[in-house]
Amino acid sequence: MSVSLSAVSDPPFFTVQAQDPHTAARAGLLRTTHGSVTTPIFMPVGTQATVKTVTPDELKECGAQIILSNTYHLALRPGAERVAELGGLHTFMGWDRPILTDSGGFQVFSLGHLRRVTDEGVAFRSHIDGAALFFTPERVIQLEEWLGADIIMPLDECLGFPMTEQAARVAAARTLRWAERSLAATTRADQTLFGIVQGGVYPQLRRECAREMAALPFLGHSIGGLSIGEDKATMHAMITEVVPLLPPERPRYLMGVGAPEDLWEGVARGVDMFDVVLPTRIARNGALLTRRGRLNIRNSMHASSRAPIEQGCPCYTCQRFTLAYLHHLFRAEELLAYRLATLHNLRFMLDLAAEIRASILAGCFSAARDEFLASYRPTDQGVRDQQKEKWLARRATRPPASASDATRPDDQELDDRTGD
């Protein structure tokens, strides 16, 4: 077992710098081989070693401190061993700041029609060409060590919603066994492995899994298996069950969650790290984030507007272009539209995380949260349910993967949360 997984490190991997007196919100500092990260933090998702449409320098200008990539997708192409031969993921993608890699556990859910789960591991059929690949906890650690990310996730079993309590119990127990095998398989001292808490939407299972995962020598913990179809109140309840049982000296990462309102609510419950493809994906569909809610740039009301997306926004897009111009780009399907929208949405989310952190340090988190949520209009639950049904319908009718599908433009739509 790697010495980096011991309960104590020098200097500590994570330090709590401030604690809100009225909630579980806290500000902290993560230390990694490729630099420090202040928390709470939003992590842009670069599934295939790129955050779509933007360069590493643009990510830095937006304020990104750490980004996320996906082991399953990179194992398929270009191959984790090839990335290692080319100098590791940081060199390969030209990003010199921290990286977190997901294990492919979410693909156990999102690619459910292309995999088979056993106690040994997960047998996938590639969504690109149908090729077989077998992920065991040990194999995933090997792939992630080849990739060389600073923070890595173990293989876990993520279920879809709804699920039975028995299925959730089996998956949580399997995730715990896989966590132990993952710990035993690590060899690199410059990577930090997190444990993942599963348990579905069942409070008792969540508590049991959290206690057992907390007893293992991880330096951080993830909360997985949420934002997969359950309502927000249920998601919040599961976070509330889990966080108090995790060691306070370890960071908490809420996997695949990160709408603006989720950051405020998650931080209030003690979460430190967030990621989701939402800002970049909706940007490519013409949805722009503002402090009032989402703005649909395709709406004809913006065709003659001289205003920016949001007054006072410091992003490149708002500083240079009008809503009228962005409306034109989207209506004309110009590629620049997707870049400009993505730059704005990323800057919005990263600035929001910085604002939340500043409010904790200043001792006014609760007031800042109330002020933001009072004017922000989140996406209606009914709309989210409709979007999920459409995605499930597409997945159910999609033919088996074959070599002829390799250039299919919507490959990543198979993977609704971590396929950016």
Q: What whole-number distance in Å separates Cα of residue 346 and Cα of residue 58?
A: 10
Q: What whole-number distance in Å separates Cα of residue 291 and Cα of residue 7?
A: 40
Q: Which of 102, 262, 415, 416 is catalytic?
A: 102
| Three-state secondary structure call for residue 221 | strand
Residue 315 DSSP one-character state? S
Locate 122 and state its tokens: 């997960």
Angle (deg, nearest 10), helices 137-147 and 165-185: 50
| Three-state secondary structure call for residue 30 | strand
Whether 415 is a known active-site residue: answer no
* Residue 273 near residue 196 (C-beta atoms within 8 A): no
* Residue 83 near residue 147 (C-beta atoms within 8 A): yes
* Residue 18 near residue 264 (C-beta atoms within 8 A): no
Q: What whole-number distance in Å separates Cα of residue 159 and Cα of residue 117?
A: 11
Q: What whole-number distance in Å separates Cα of residue 306 and Cα of residue 285?
A: 21
* Residue 80 near residue 101 (C-beta atoms within 8 A): no
- Look at the block and give the residue holding tokens 């409709």: 386
Q: Which of 20, 156, 262, 275 is catalytic?
A: 275
Q: What whole-number distance in Å separates Cα of residue 316 and Cα of residue 348?
A: 11
Q: What whole-number distance in Å separates Cα of residue 8 and Cα of residue 153?
A: 19
Amino acid found at 20:
D
- Look at the block and give the residue holding tokens 């040990």: 138
| Tally of residues, the chain | 420
Whether 275 is a known active-site residue: answer yes
Amino acid found at 334:
E
Peptide bond into 308 cis (omega under 30): no
Distance set, CA 414 to CA 196, 364, 397 (Å): 23, 41, 12
Please name which of 2, 5, 26, 4 lies closest in space to residue 15, comparing C-alpha atoms.
26
Pairing of strands 122-125, 132-135: antiparallel
| Residues labelled catalytic | 102, 275
